[in-house]
Amino acid sequence: MNRPILIATLTLLTACAPGGRVSSAPVSTSPPNAPSYQPAFPEQARAPEVTSKVAYQATVLVENLGKPWGLAFLPGGALLISEKAGALRIFEDGKVSAPITAGLPKIDAQRQGGLLGLAVDPAFAANGLIYFAFSEPDPAGGNHTAVGRAKLVQEGAGGKLEDVRVIWRQTPSLESGAHYGGRLVFARDGTLFVTTGERSILAGRMQAQRLDGTLGKVVRIRTDGSIPADNPFVNRPGVKPEIWSLGQRNVQGAALNPATGELWTNEHGARGGDELNITRKGRDYGWPTITYGIEYIGPKIGEGITQKAGMEQPVYYWDPVIAPSGMAFYTADLFPAWKGSLFIGGLKDQRLTRLVLKGEKVVGEERLLGELKERIRDVVVGPDGALYIATDSDKGRVIRVAPK
């Protein structure tokens, strides 16, 4: 479907403070999954609800895609889309290309696996390179997260891939269909951050604290797959040198803070304990030793503790969960009331969460786009200042959110 469809217009209440009108109550008033756990500091969870003065409209640009997972804009304004089932698309001038599949590596698209996050080389105008995360089957058994690189050649309203190669593979491979992570973010120095998961099963969970593998980690590589010399664990025997941070469960959202250049990520908790983190060099984010969530079947995880010396606290956490996915800092001028906000897609919550930030603290929260009633897999800011949303549903839609 190529013809844009207006699906919603919503006017919200008058803004009375930076970021909007602040309520004394949080957005979520549902009982927490882990009621015995308490935040480590004020507003680490359930920040006050903020309501902004924004009249917006959400317009469907494309639908009937194969569960779009990643969005990335090319320098000329075309939108690159990954479909979980294993194809790329290009949306430009109101039209979407045929699926681009030729040359892609073999993809294990079962359960949570598939073609995942995207990144466009900062020098794309000169080299045409794109990067994509995907779940790759291992010939020896199991599967893992991997990163591919290719030259995207645009041809008319479509394109093709050339010089495709895999530049990084997660180790070890496991028999699992979950927790691949899969976001790609370029750092200011041109290195590439790759988020992963610990594959959900117990054998992977216990690897999140180990340094001889890359499960439950954020890794940092160069664009050819080589290792930056200033990574935190370089030249340590028995340690994977690409590791940037450890102790992470399933990192499905990542973005650079435009004010600081630091990597911010979000990760899925179990029952309760979805986290927002500032993912710093060499830091341990605690999973599974500390968490604000509990097992899906009810018991506490491990010792049932939320703090431990040497392990980082989340900037913010959600209980009950929203199942966070793609995220983006908003720095454009199209929505002045939203400038400086952090937007995060919700899979379980089926809304777009807007966080109001003050430095490194979350001081307000707003939920948007509930009228869609769809899982929001990714959100990016377009060159026009609008928000672009990918929905993880059978409708398979890409939606543009702009002022009314």
Catalytic residues: 179
Sort residue 17 into left (φ over 0), alpha (ψ -120 to 50) or beta. beta
Between CA 193 and CA 253 the distance in angstroms is: 12
Between CA 254 and CA 325 the distance in angstroms is: 8
Between CA 88 and CA 39 the distance in angstroms is: 41
Sort residue 242 into left (φ over 0), alpha (ψ -120 to 50) or beta. alpha
**Does residue 198 contact residue 205 with C-beta atoms inside 8 Å?**
yes
**Does residue 161 contact residue 129 with C-beta atoms inside 8 Å?**
no
Contacts of 55 (CB under 8 A, 6+ apart): 9, 10, 11, 12, 403, 404
Single-letter code of the amino acid located at 141:
G
**Does residue 220 contact residue 236 with C-beta atoms inside 8 Å?**
no
**Does residue 120 contact residue 130 with C-beta atoms inside 8 Å?**
yes
Pull the structure tokens for residue 330: 């908003």
By DSSP bridging, strand 5-11 and strand 251-256 are unpaired
**Does residue 183 contact residue 252 with C-beta atoms inside 8 Å?**
yes
